[in-house]
């Protein structure tokens, strides 16, 4: 206990400094991970057409590009229509996917995203 | 006849009624109010419900909770078993993608910890010991498991009040945060539409939890169990090959542990431990911490917005107070009210998960500085 500070402002300053320093270093580590990512280039190439889809096409037409193989297009169109009706623009709908799904569906989505 | 009277007298003297105190009545009433808020008003019913019922149970005199399952549940809290298990489930449910895509939002998570330290300083000024002040301050992180974890290590006698304050304010996020957010932002700032986040690769999502665990655990070993379990859960989710473990962590396990943790928290609310001035002070300091954290996050968001030429909507700063994902949802709701075309949820998830890490770091720092050596 010797040497332990009881000055609240000093404790506050030390703690805030440590929290900021740790999170900034974590940010640096994240940038390093991004830089050394061996899958990055491949991902950017495959992501480009997907990112362009919502801007280039109408939402109802764009959405099925990622899910048409596994979902009913009418269901997708209905969901997109409902989201647009809530006040969100078509540019904001990039894709539709179920939130609670089987692991198989998730794995399938990840694999199709990688290709 | 004598035997009958002796038997009746014995039943009476063994009953809870004969030992029932006014304090028990007050706390049972508190429990009933919390039950009303949980099940009728639907304020965090999954947490507040078991806490409230635990409170009622704890105030039944002669309940025999010194042994049996209730003793085990209490031990799960006092031996710091439940908070790391909750973090395992939280990790499995959390997508760190928005944070990885926009690492500068880590600063918002750090800024929102300011509330923690405002409450810490305030608690020390009004007479709590540095250890107690540290445990009280962490309420501002809006992170129930971390609050309980720190309280058991620094101020076990205040555990009930701290846990209740932390979970109560977490459930009141949609009521407390919006006025503070609006107070510190202009209509124009709230209308800012943020750019879409970049794609995050699977490599980044898998490496991030591993690197973070090693880095933070080496720096602050006292929170290794919290950070480690959070990141292990996330690794289950992101690895793509442990779907069954991720599913168990984010559903069955976290639900089971939530029942135990919340009920156990309620069990700490016995009248003799809860009905005192300290509890009222803790509740007040917790509110100060929460408002302070929200304000600091929003103000830092404003600074960030000024620096990057108006690309950041300051409303996402308030999500830095943890409370995943409710704080992010509040940012989304307030942003959408200002501009219906605004979609801040994914952007707010960055500071939100940064807040979880930030609160764990703040807890580790306080343990390093304040824990009795």
Q: For B83-129, what is each residue's pLDDT tens digit?
A: 999 999 999 999 999 999 999 999 999 999 999 989 999 999 999 99
Cβ atoms within 10 A of the Cβ of B222, count? 17
Looking at residue B162, its pLDDT comes to 92
Return the DSSP state at B310.
Answer: S
- Higher pLDDT residue, B39 or A62? B39
The residues, any chain, with a CB within 8 Å of residue A111's CB and separated by 6 or more, are: none
Q: CA-nearest residue of chain A to B373?
A: A1
Distance CA A42, CA B201 (A): 10
3-state secondary structure B201-238: CHHHHHHHHHHHHHHHHHHCHHHHHHHHHHHHHHHHHH
Position A98 pLDDT exceeds 90: no
Mean pLDDT estimate for chain B: 92
Chain A partners of B243 at a C-beta cutoff of 8 Å?
A: 103, 106-107
- Token pair 């690197």: residue: B211
Decide if pLDDT at A41 tops 80: no
For the record, the structure tokens of B186 come out as 């202009």
Mean pLDDT value across residues B6-19: 89
Task: State the pLDDT at residue A42.
Answer: 59
**How far, in Å, CA of B169 to CA of B96, rounded?**
24
Residue A102: the pLDDT is 54
Mean pLDDT across B1-5: 86
Count A/B contacts: CB-CB distance under 8 Å. 131
Residue B171 confidence (pLDDT): 79
Residue A31's pLDDT is 94
Q: For residue range B261-319, what is the model confidence (pLDDT) as tens digits?
A: 999 989 989 998 889 999 999 999 999 999 999 999 999 999 999 999 999 999 999 99
Q: What mean pLDDT is predicted for residues B249-265?
A: 95
Residue that the structure tokens 């445990």 belong to: B135
Per-residue pLDDT reduced to its tens digit, B344-369: 999 999 999 999 999 999 999 999 98
Question: For residue A91, what are its two tokens?
Answer: 């540019």
Minimal Cα–Cα distance from B185 to chain A, Å? 23
What does pLDDT average to over chain A? 68
Vertex A75 angle, CA A71 and A81, to 5°: 130
Please determine, for residue A95, whether its predicted confidence score (pLDDT) is greater than 80: no
Nearest CA distance, B263 vs chain A (angstrom): 27
pLDDT of residue B57: 96
Cβ within 8 Å, pair A87-B103: no
Chain A positions touching B96 (Cβ under 8 A) are none
Whole-angstrom Cα distance, residue B325 to residue B302? 22
Q: Are B358 and B112 in contact (CB under 8 A)?
A: yes
> Which residue among B104, B113, B366 places its CB closest to the CB of A27?
B104
In this complex, the residue of B120, B202, B219 whose CB is nearest that of residue A12 is B120
Residue A17: burial class (beta carbons within 10 Å; 0-12, 13-18, 19+): exposed
pLDDT at A54: 45
Task: Using pLDDT thresholds of 50, 70 and 90, give the confidence band for residue A57.
Answer: very low
* pLDDT at position A40: 80
Determine the pLDDT at residue B355: 94
> pLDDT tens digits, residue range B43-87?
878 888 999 999 999 999 999 898 999 999 999 998 989 999 999
Of B103, B370, B373, the CB nearest to A27: B103
pLDDT at A77: 77
Q: Closest Cα to residue B106, out of A19, A79, A71? A: A19
Query: What is the pLDDT, as a whole number, of residue B92?
Result: 96
B151-194 pLDDT, tens per residue? 999 998 898 889 888 888 887 888 899 999 999 999 999 999 99
**Does the beta-carbon distance from A27 to B204 stay under 8 Å?**
no
Average pLDDT over residues B3-8: 90
Q: Where are the domains of chain A?
A: 1-39, 73-112
Q: Does B325 sit behind a cis peptide bond, omega within 30 degrees of 0 on the bond before it?
A: yes
Q: CB burial class (10 A; 0-12, 13-18, 19+) of residue B264?
A: buried
Question: What ipTM goes with this model?
Answer: 0.87
pLDDT of residue B169: 85
- CA B194 from chain centre, in angstroms, equals 28
A14/B354 Cβ within 8 A: no
pLDDT at A114: 52
Separation of alpha carbons B94 and A50, rounded Å: 24
The whole-model pTM stands at 0.80
**Could you say which of A22, A37, A87 has the minimum Cβ distance to residue B204?**
A37
pLDDT band at B135 (very low <50, low <70, confident <90, very high): very high
Please determine, for residue B257, whether its predicted confidence score (pLDDT) is greater than 50: yes
CA distance B98 to A27: 13
Tokens of B146: 């971390």
pLDDT at A111: 57
In which band, very low, low, confident or very high, does the pLDDT at B41 lie, cut at 50, 70 and 90? confident
Assigned token pair, B323: 């409370």
The answer to whether A88 faces chain B, any CB pair under 8 Å, is: yes
Of residues B88, B70, B161, B141, the one with CA closest to residue B354: B141
Q: How many residues does chain A have?
A: 115
**pLDDT-based confidence at residue A115 (cuts at 50, 70, 90):** very low
Q: Which residue of A has its CA nearest to B372?
A: A1
Across residues A17-40, what is the average pLDDT? 93
């Amino acid at each position: 206990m010797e040497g332990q500070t009881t000055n609240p402002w000093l404790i506050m300053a030390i703690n805030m400094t440590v929290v900021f320093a740790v999170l900034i270093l974590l940010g640096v580590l994240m940038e390093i991970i991004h830089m050394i990512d061996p899958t990055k280039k491949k991902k950017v190439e495959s992501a480009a057409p997907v990112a362009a889809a919502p801007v280039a096409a109408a939402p109802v037409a764009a959405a099925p590009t990622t899910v048409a193989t596994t979902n009913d297009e009418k269901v997708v169109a209905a969901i997109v229509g409902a989201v647009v009706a809530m006040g969100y623009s078509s540019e904001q709908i990039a894709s539709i996917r179920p939130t609670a799904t089987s692991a198989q569906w998730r794995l399938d989505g990840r694999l199709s995203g990688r290709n | 006849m004598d035997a009958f009277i002796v038997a009746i007298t014995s039943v009476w003297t063994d009953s809870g009624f004969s030992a029932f105190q006014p304090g028990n009545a007050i706390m049972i009433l508190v429990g009933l109010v919390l039950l009303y808020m949980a099940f009728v008003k639907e304020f965090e019913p999954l947490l507040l419900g078991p806490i409230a019922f635990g409170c009622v149970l704890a105030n039944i005199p002669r309940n025999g909770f010194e042994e049996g399952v209730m003793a085990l549940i209490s031990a799960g809290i006092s031996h710091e078993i439940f908070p790391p298990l909750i973090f395992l489930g939280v990790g499995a449910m959390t997508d760190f993608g928005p944070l990885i895509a926009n690492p500068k939002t880590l600063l918002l998570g750090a800024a929102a910890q300011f509330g923690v330290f405002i409450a810490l300083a305030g608690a020390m000024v009004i007479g709590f010991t540095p250890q107690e002040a540290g445990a009280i301050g962490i309420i501002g992180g809006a992170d129930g498991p971390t609050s309980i974890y720190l309280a058991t290590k620094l101020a076990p006698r205040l555990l009930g009040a701290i846990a209740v304050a932390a979970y109560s304010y977490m459930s009141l996020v949609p009521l407390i945060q919006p006025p503070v957010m609006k107070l510190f932002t202009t209509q124009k700032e709230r209308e800012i539409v943020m750019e879409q986040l970049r794609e995050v690769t699977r490599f980044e999502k898998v490496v991030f939890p591993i690197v973070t665990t090693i880095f933070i655990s080496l720096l602050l070993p006292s929170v290794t169990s919290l950070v480690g379990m959070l990141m292990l859960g996330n690794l289950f989710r992101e690895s793509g090959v442990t779907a069954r473990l991720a599913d168990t962590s984010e559903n069955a396990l976290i639900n089971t542990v939530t029942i135990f943790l919340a009920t156990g928290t309620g069990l700490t609310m016995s009248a003799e431990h809860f009905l005192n001035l300290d509890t009222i002070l803790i509740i007040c300091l917790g509110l100060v911490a929460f408002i302070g954290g929200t304000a600091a996050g929003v103000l830092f968001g404003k600074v960030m917005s000024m620096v990057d030429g108006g690309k950041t909507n300051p409303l996402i700063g308030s999500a830095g107070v943890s409370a995943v994902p409710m704080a992010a949802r509040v940012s989304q709701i307030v942003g959408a009210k200002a501009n219906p075309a605004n979609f801040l949820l994914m952007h707010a998830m960055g500071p939100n998960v940064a807040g979880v890490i930030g609160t764990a770091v703040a807890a580790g720092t306080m343990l390093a500085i304040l824990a009795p050596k």
